[in-house]
Amino acid sequence: MQCHHVDVYNRVEFPQLFRAEEDSSGNQSAAAAKASSAPSAGIGELLGAVKLPNKVKRTENVLAATTAWVIEENQPLNSVEKPAFRRMLETIDPFCPKTTIKAVRNDISYLGLVSREALKRELKGKYFSLTTDHWTSPNDETYSCLTAHWIENGKMHQAVLTFEVFTGTTTGVALGEDFVRVFNMYEFDLKYVVAVVTDTTGNMNTFGEYLRQRGVKHLYCVDHVLHLNAKLAYVDSNLPGSGNAMKAARSLEYFTKSTQAMGKILRQQAQNEHYEGKIPLKPLQDVVTRWWSTYRMLSRLRYLQRAIQVLVVNESIVATDLTPDQYEILHDVENLLKPTAEAQKYLEGEKYPTISLVPFFLHSIRRQYKAMAEDNTKSGPVLHLSGVLLQDFEKRYLPRSKPVFSTEIRRASGRYQGIPSDTIIASALDPRTKNLRPFIPDNEHDAIWSEVLNLMVQLRITNMPSSSSVATVTAVDSVSHRPVQQARLDDGAGTGCMFDELTACNQEQDAATMTRQAAVSVEGQEIIKRFCSDELGRYRHAEVSLPMFCPGAVGERQFSDPLMWWEGRKIAYPNLYVLAQRFLSIPATSAPSERLWSLASRIVTIRRARLESTLIGDLMFIKENSMILSKHFADIAGETRILPKVYPAGDENEDNNGGDDDVVIVN
């Protein structure tokens, strides 16, 4: 009967199932024997079908895939109940389980919990640095975040420790208490924090003091400090006699407001032989709160100068062109700000060490300000602005007459001054800058290397096993070894009295032993110091500095990698290697936290403005820590499942200026 059914409906598709009488040989018995000896094939195998998991497992798989889609693509939760979404799934599989908003929301919360446990396991016992910042979302809620940064296997790693609504006041003490709360939540020890980097607002000074009282170092975001200095070029009062050149440059914002005028300047670039082979670009407007935006505006203005002048001369647009003197002044201002802009852009990076190049960048900025302030060939407005910038710069980073290196915290009006010692130590531990020239005076080098040696000795002593011959400790003390039961008391005296003589003798002997141990400890410290000094000497004098750029790079020059340099020398320099991993992990800026706000704006869109704050935090946490979640999920949950993937590399490296708006393709 089964064969008859197949014969009728599936003759072409399943010839293997037909009876042997249809064989051309006509030998019925031989065909039957041949068929019986062949391996049997089920209908599912012949169809190529795959056995589906049971209904519960299928529902879990569909929910996991749907949750991953919502998280990766920043979809509103109600998308999963939209008719179009369900129709799409039913087209693929008529029996596809249906997910609900509630199920997806609960699954996101579950992944958020697992992500936090995964991060806890990832960072346990590791040294890392932090950045923090606050942000107001489109739904008028204030969010706080902490990003962690550490070095492992020759690579920079980062994660989001927290991303959540911040309630209450934003005083320095309140921020400090919230910081400690997060660490207690993860059961982390503050001793593993190398440094915390924040912006330069007033409450951060109190926050920094709160951290220092608990043994945590606090550093200003270098880009914030440089921006406070560079924005002095934003106002025309610092360019007296320029005819309000900066205001005139901003008047070209007209092109960004008029679609017709914008089209004309783009077409002029496409037609003008001066721009042949180049992509048409739009004018840029600087923003007083955006890093290096004034430099970008002036640089773009210089690039578009010829196109603008042609349009003005031909009366194709109604705009007032700048005078030749104004163009020259603005070009000089652009050159004046160039070292600052280049430093800020480089220091925003997250995939490579940044803190170690800060002293060199500051040296370059100071040198540029000083050179232009003393250049009598420059116009009066430029000389004045150069002097203003140099004076402000030296208020923040001290004049050359003051020592560059100091382990003391230097302040003025409650704000930090000078370069933090940790920043200079990082430069010494970076093989690209270990010579400390030309940014540190030669007479300060010995003090820096002496501090590095002290850190090496402290590291060695701290990590020394208790069984070391250099410094031994009592194997069992009164805390770690307790009696099984309390001694019984007799007539108020107790059996403990019989041990008085033994105890006294032990105490006398122990005192002599401890004295000898102290002497051995001092001797041991000298041995350690000599060992570390030898290691440091080999690093300083036997190792050639790592070139700043990779040799033989084709096209755009690529920076060399100090982390991989250290990875190849961790056996030769074990103590310096550990210190380098710690100090080079410090971000020079709080850009990692600020970049989160750009990513968060994709989650808290107009369509998703009603999301609960806890859910927003979970979404952000899962997206940013998805690699760590994938690494530890199976061990934590005891199963495997579809998980959200990380951001594409292009999104991770997005800068604060939204480069997509700069380029326009003109047909």
Distance CA(114)–CA(644), nearest Å, equals: 13
Task: Please give the biggest Cα pair distance in the chain.
Answer: 117
Q: What average pLDDT does this structure show over 444-461?
A: 96
What is the torsional sign of CA 653, 367, 226, 155? Answer: positive
Provide, rounded to the nearest whole percent, the portion of the chain with pLDDT above 90: 50
Of 588, 618, 584, 583, the residue nearest 600 (C-alpha): 618
What is the torsional sign of CA 644, 649, 655, 660? Answer: negative
Segment 410-428, tens digit of pLDDT: 988 888 999 999 999 999 9
Q: What is the pLDDT of residue 515?
A: 59
Report the length, in residues, of the chain: 667
What is the torsional sign of CA 546, 547, 548, 552? Answer: negative
Of 628, 652, 630, the residue nearest 643 (C-alpha): 630
Distance CA(22)–CA(3), nearest Å, equals: 12
**Helix axis angle, 324-347 to 293-313, nearest 10°:** 150
Q: What is the pLDDT of residue 257?
A: 67
Distance CA(168)–CA(174), nearest Å, equals: 8
> Long-range contact list for 395-402, CB < 8 A, 24+ apart?
396/225, 396/228, 396/229, 397/362, 397/366, 400/366
> What are the φ and ψ backbone dihedral angles of 582, each rounded to 5 degrees?
-80, -55
Q: Which element (helix H / strand E) includes 117?
A: helix 101-123
Distance CA(437)–CA(363), nearest Å, equals: 10
Q: What is the pLDDT of residue 87?
A: 94
Any residues with CB less than 8 A from the CB of 499 and at least 6 apart, and which? none
Residue 392's pLDDT band, with cuts at 50, 70 and 90, is very high
Model confidence at 478: pLDDT above 60: no
Q: H/E/C letters for each residue in 405-426?
A: CCCCCCEECCEECCCCHHHHHH
Distance CA(618)–CA(607), nearest Å, equals: 18
What is the torsional sign of CA 519, 522, 528, 529? Answer: negative
> What are the φ and ψ backbone dihedral angles of 334, each rounded to 5 degrees?
-60, -45
Segment 364-386, tens digit of pLDDT: 999 999 999 999 999 999 999 99
Of 212, 232, 229, the residue nearest 221 (C-alpha): 229
Q: H/E/C letters for each residue in 141-159?
A: CEEEEEEEEEEECCEEEEE
Torsion angle defined by CA atoms of residues 640, 645, 646 and 651, in that order, rounded to the nearest 10 degrees? 180
Distance CA(307)–CA(662), nearest Å, equals: 16
Facing residues of 152 across strands? 155
Kindly report the number of other CB atoms within 10 A of residue 348's CB atom. 24
Distance CA(292)–CA(338), nearest Å, equals: 9
Q: What average pLDDT does this structure show over 89-101?
A: 91
Segment 214-259, tens digit of pLDDT: 899 999 999 999 999 999 999 999 999 999 999 988 887 667 667 8
State pTM to two decimals: 0.79
Contact of 151 with 182, CB cutoff 8 Å = no
Kindly report the number of other CB atoms within 10 A of residue 62's CB atom. 19
Model confidence at 6: pLDDT above 70: no
- Measured in whole angstroms, the distance separating CA 168 from the mean position of its chain's CA atoms is 27
Model confidence at 579: pLDDT above 90: yes
Distance CA(348)–CA(345), nearest Å, equals: 5
**Three-state DSSP class for 196?**
strand
Any residues with CB less than 8 A from the CB of 498 and at least 6 apart, and which? none
Model confidence at 513: pLDDT above 60: no
Q: What is the pLDDT of residue 645?
A: 84
**Three-state DSSP class for 655?**
coil
Alpha-carbon distances, residue 563 vs 22, 414, 546 (angstroms): 74, 35, 11
Distance CA(288)–CA(66), nearest Å, equals: 42
Give the strand pairing for 128-136 and 218-220. unpaired
- Measured in whole angstroms, the distance separating CA 254 from the mean position of its chain's CA atoms is 37
Q: What average pLDDT does this structure show over 170-187?
A: 84
Any residues with CB less than 8 A from the CB of 292 and at least 6 apart, and which? 227, 230, 337, 340, 341, 344, 345
Contact of 226 with 340, CB cutoff 8 Å = yes
What is the residue-averaged pLDDT of the chain?
Answer: 82
Distance CA(222)–CA(662), nearest Å, equals: 26
DSSP code, position 166: -
Contact of 148 with 132, CB cutoff 8 Å = no
Segment 283-341, tens digit of pLDDT: 888 888 888 889 999 999 999 999 988 888 887 877 778 899 999 999 999 999 999 99
Lowest-pLDDT range of 31-35, 451-455, 502-506, 567-571 = 31-35
